[in-house]
Amino acid sequence: MKRAIVFGATGGIGKAIAAQLAAKGWSLYIHFNHSSQEAEKMVAEFIDKYPSQEFFPLKLDFLAEDEVIKTTVASLLPLNAAIFTQGITNYQFLGSQELTQIEKIMQINLLVPIKITSLLESQLLKRKHGRIIFIGSVYGGQAGALESVYSASKGGLSSFAQGYAREVASAHLTVNVIAPGAVDTPMNAIFDAETLNEVKNEIPAGRLAEPSDIVFWVENLLDKRSDYLTGQTIYVDGGWLV
Ligand SMILES: NC(=O)c1ccc[n+]([C@@H]2O[C@H](COP(=O)([O-])OP(=O)(O)OC[C@H]3O[C@@H](n4cnc5c(N)ncnc54)[C@H](OP(=O)(O)O)[C@@H]3O)[C@@H](O)[C@H]2O)c1
């Protein structure tokens, strides 16, 4: 049985990834932080649709103490893949942000994903085609004003993936980043329709990405034929920024 954990499975992109993987025969941990009802609903739907697979909701606040993170990761059944789609941003000038907010962004987007990767390493190394996929951002390659901390967190993920991939490549554990441009999800609900339209007009492809545009690349990285692609950041941005 192939089993994956989708961190942030209750988010716009995570939900689409989880739905597609479930349809493709994966058993899944549906990770969430606040959206417990959504996670329970997804698990119930998947169990109903795919009764021969296993689905578990898994709560973990990425702002929790290390001990909680360690215990949670230690409780997991063997995994073939970990997909990190959780993330937050804060659209503000650096000087207007609380220091605690800066720390939160780095912790949720970068530090805890690295810690969890470290905790999962020994079991992922045992798989034939282990996979770690981070959802980064186009801002990780081309940082944006008002999102400098977010950009730093995503650029950090790309750097981490590049270095770490070299540590584990001989065990066929691949580590990559899918870096979307603007995707039509609740994360962009902070912008009004006019602003989103301006963004759309800047994107050569003429539209925001749909979560399915991102899912496609995640699926390809999970394929065992992707064993030779590692340490990469793949920008999926309609030709926008990078
Ligand atoms: N949308 C875009 O335009 C866009 C563009 C480029 C990159 N991305 C990246 O793609 C990823 C997914 O984005 P999205 O648009 O799907 O975001 P979203 O809809 O806002 O979902 C965010 C997810 O992160 C989880 N999360 C938030 N705070 C958390 C915490 N403290 N601990 C653990 N999990 C937490 C949420 O869980 P709960 O709901 O359960 O609290 C939710 O599942 C993010 O990494 C984002 O940076 C998005």
Q: Which of 20, 40, 88 to mutate to test the pocket of ligand 1 (most atoms within 8 A of CB)?
A: 88
pTM of the model: 0.98
Q: Measured between alpha carbons, how far is 175 from 180 in angstroms, rounded to an integer?
A: 16
Confidence check: pLDDT of 242 > 80 = no
Structure confidence at residue 122 as a pLDDT band (50, 70, 90): very high
| pLDDT, tens digit (0-9, with 9 covering 90-100), for 22-40 | 999 999 999 999 999 999 9
Q: Which of 34, 61, 65, 86 to mutate to test the pocket of ligand 1 (most atoms within 8 A of CB)?
A: 86
Domains of the chain: 3-236 (3.40.50.720)
Ligand 1: residues whose CB is within 6 Å? 8, 10-14, 32-35, 61-63, 85-88, 108, 135, 137, 180, 182-183, 185-188
Q: Which residue has the tokens 């937050």?
A: 88
| pLDDT, tens digit (0-9, with 9 covering 90-100), for 152-175 | 999 999 999 999 999 999 999 999
Per-residue pLDDT, averaged over 70-80, amounts to 98
Structure confidence at residue 225 as a pLDDT band (50, 70, 90): very high
Q: Which of 6, 13, 105, 241 to mutate to test the pocket of ligand 1 (most atoms within 8 A of CB)?
A: 13
- The closest alpha carbon to 38, from 53, 57, 64, 55, belongs to 57
pLDDT at residue number 1: 86
Between the CA of 170 and the centroid of ligand 1 the distance, in Å, is 31
Cβ within 8 Å of residue 79, ≥6 positions away: 3, 4, 5, 29, 120, 123, 124, 127
Q: Measured between alpha carbons, how far is 159 from 234 in angstroms, rounded to an integer?
A: 13
Q: Measured between alpha carbons, how far is 183 from 191 in angstroms, rounded to an integer?
A: 12
Structure confidence at residue 49 as a pLDDT band (50, 70, 90): very high
